[in-house]
């Protein structure tokens, strides 16, 4: 006799069917001496094969829109979907409770992020305050979602035979109080006789960028359309990457303010460490890739996706939207 029991598991507001199979085998012998020869009971349990951000079972994920009454805006959250099955699985996103004027979709995550850095006019009284003085001198490319910060960097026209440090600089607050003690040194490089450099490396940061304590996750005002008086970045929220002189760092802390010798970001970035899932960063701020109608997952692989909310018109209040990942 075979019993099939179908269960529903809620993953990130999503239900995935799991089968629990119970097998019972009974052998009977009626020889007058024994009423039965033996009875055996076997139970085979199939564990959930899909996890979201390392969680299986009835876990749900709440997406809280950071703006009051958003309109004409988009907000995306990163989730990492792991297929622990021995075979590939195709999944589709089914959404219920979708409000008029709000479109919800699942999108690919760009494989790499490109960031230019430059020397800037740091005189805040200048009409070109915090704008690049020249074309960007440094190009940094890194894997957007990866267990390590895997990057390549090219630099030109820097100081010759000089060691520089690539750092993550988190802001403390809207007043931009000096945060010299909380920088993260990502890596170092040394220029040649022409002040040029080209190289790559793979660094285990064991953190997401920006970090959860960084003011720039939800800055107010933000970095778009000169809302803060200076910047017109493509991404309004995220982390800052700077390149500073290594000699300006002592025991992991900036020992001086030396903006004339440093290179600053031209946009804000987000890097996600696969091993940490999304415990530090909720709002993902990179460009979304193509819309995914069917998510094709490979056996024992992790696939990052963005769940994005597009507000066509102004919305306010509370509403519940349930998105379910269903196997095809």
Residue 45: the pLDDT is 58
Q: What dihedral angle (degrees, nearest 10) is formed by the CA atoms of 187, 185, 172, 80?
A: 60
Structure tokens at 207: 């953190």
The 10s digit of each residue's pLDDT in 220-271 is 888 989 998 999 998 888 999 999 999 999 999 999 999 999 999 999 999 9
Cα(first)–Cα(last) distance of the chain, in Å? Answer: 28
Structure tokens at 306: 């963005």
Rounded (5°) CA angle 154-224-313: 130
- Tell me how far apart the alpha carbons of residues 328 and 324 are, in angstroms, rounded to a whole number: 12
| CB of 261 closer than 8 Å to CB of 245 | yes
- Tell me how far apart the alpha carbons of residues 116 and 308 are, in angstroms, rounded to a whole number: 26
Residue 293: the pLDDT is 86
Residue 53: the pLDDT is 80
Compare 235 and 202 and report the one with higher pLDDT. Answer: 202
pLDDT at 39 over 70: no
Residue 142: the pLDDT is 97
The 10s digit of each residue's pLDDT in 286-328 is 667 788 888 888 898 888 888 888 887 776 667 777 777 788 8
| CB of 315 closer than 8 Å to CB of 68 | no
Please, which pLDDT band fits residue 277 given cuts at 50, 70 and 90? low
- Tell me how far apart the alpha carbons of residues 173 and 136 are, in angstroms, rounded to a whole number: 27
pLDDT at 135 over 80: yes
Per the DSSP assignment, residues forming a β-bridge with 163 are 190
Please, which pLDDT band fits residue 192 given cuts at 50, 70 and 90? very high
Mean pLDDT, rounded, for 125-132 = 94
- Tell me how far apart the alpha carbons of residues 296 and 91 are, in angstroms, rounded to a whole number: 6
- Three-state DSSP class for residue 316: coil
**What are the structural domains, with CATH classification, of the chain?**
2-50 (no CATH), 71-109+277-327 (no CATH), 114-274 (2.60.40)
Percent of the chain at pLDDT > 70 equals 77
């Amino acid at each position: 006799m075979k019993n099939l029991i179908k269960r529903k598991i809620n993953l990130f507001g999503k239900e995935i069917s799991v089968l629990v199979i119970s097998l019972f085998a009974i052998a009977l012998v009626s020889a007058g001496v024994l009423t039965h020869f033996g009875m055996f009971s076997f139970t085979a349990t199939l564990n959930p094969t899909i996890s979201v951000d390392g969680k299986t079972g009835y876990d749900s994920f709440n997406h809280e829109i950071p703006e009051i009454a958003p309109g004409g805006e988009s907000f995306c959250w990163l989730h990492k979907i792991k297929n622990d099955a021995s075979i590939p699985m195709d999944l589709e996103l089914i959404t219920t409770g979708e409000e008029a004027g709000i479109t919800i979709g699942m999108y690919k995550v760009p494989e790499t992020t490109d960031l230019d850095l430059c020397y800037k006019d740091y005189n805040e009284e200048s009409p070109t305050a915090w704008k690049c003085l020249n074309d960007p001198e440094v190009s940094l490319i890194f894997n957007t979602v990866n267990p390590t910060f895997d990057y390549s960097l090219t630099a030109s026209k820097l100081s010759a035979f000089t060691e520089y440090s690539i750092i993550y600089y988190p802001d403390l607050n809207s007043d931009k109080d000096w945060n010299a003690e909380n920088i993260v040194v990502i890596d170092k490089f040394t220029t040649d006789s022409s002040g040029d450099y080209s190289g790559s490396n793979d660094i285990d940061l064991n953190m997401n960028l920006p970090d959860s304590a960084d003011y720039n996750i939800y800055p107010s005002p933000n970095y778009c359309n000169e809302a803060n008086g200076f910047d017109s970045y493509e991404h309004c929220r995220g982390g800052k990457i700077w390149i500073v002189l290594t000699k300006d760092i002592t025991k992991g802390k900036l020992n001086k303010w030396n903006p004339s010798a440093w290179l600053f970001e031209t946009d804000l970035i987000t890097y996600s460490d696969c091993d940490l899932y999304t415990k530090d960063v909720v709002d993902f701020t990179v460009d979304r890739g193509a819309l995914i109608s069917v998510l094709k997952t490979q056996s024992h692989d992790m696939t990052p996706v963005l769940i994005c909310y597009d507000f066509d018109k102004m919305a306010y209040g509370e509403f519940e939207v349930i998105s379910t990942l269903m196997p095809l």
